[in-house]
Amino acid sequence: MMNAQLRPALVIFALLSVVTGLAYPLMVTGIAQATMPDQANGSLISDQGKTVGSSLIGQNFSEPQYFWGRPSATGPMAYNGNGSSGANLGPTNPALLDAIKARVEALKKAHPGQAGSIPVDLVTASASGLDPHISIAAAQYQLERVSAVRKLSSDKVSKLLAENTEGRQFGVFGEPRVNVLKLNIALDQQYPLAK
């Protein structure tokens, strides 16, 4: 009696293992590679033949000659793809308020000539903690610092910023934004720092 039940169960187990563990993943991978190979391979960005990151995950730029991205809430290191999550701190949580105050002070210190308000995306982390984009306002806030450190006119850096601005998703969703890694690569390619 047990053999009569065991054999069909093992056959179904083997069949479902092949279908769900082999055939389906191969089919999905094949479709992804055929229809959207860039995204299927991680949306990798190369600079001079070397992979330097992904357009989907931010990087921690802190040098004054580069545009800085949105703060990351991942741990133990910033922009850790394995630790994607927000800080989950409420708007009245003292830890969040302290973190924002520290970020505001750091930005004011790095941009002493800026009189305007600091764009919110420069002091708050995104829901994933990995956001590779900043708003146009956040990039413009940093424009004078980057121009001064690189000894460039603001017009040159502003033009480069405009060239690297991405429009709304499908022309409708979201706001225009800048991928920080792509902008910084373009900056290094067009206006490399003297070594």
Amino acid identity for residue 6 in this structure:
L
Residue 1: pLDDT band with limits 50, 70, 90: low
Phi/psi at 61 (5° precision): -90, 125
Q: Where are the alpha helices (DSSP H) in 83-170?
A: 94-110, 136-150, 154-163
The pLDDT value given to residue 69: 92
| Gap between the Cα atoms of 168 and 12, Å rounded | 48
Give SS3 for 173.
strand
| Phi-psi group of 48: left, alpha or beta (phi > 0 → left; psi -120 to 50 → alpha; rest → beta) | left
Measured in residues, the chain has a length of 195
The 10s digit of each residue's pLDDT in 44-97 is: 888 888 888 888 888 889 899 999 999 887 777 788 777 776 667 788 889 889
The 10s digit of each residue's pLDDT in 128-155 is: 878 899 999 999 999 999 999 999 999 9
Residue with tokens 């690297």: 164
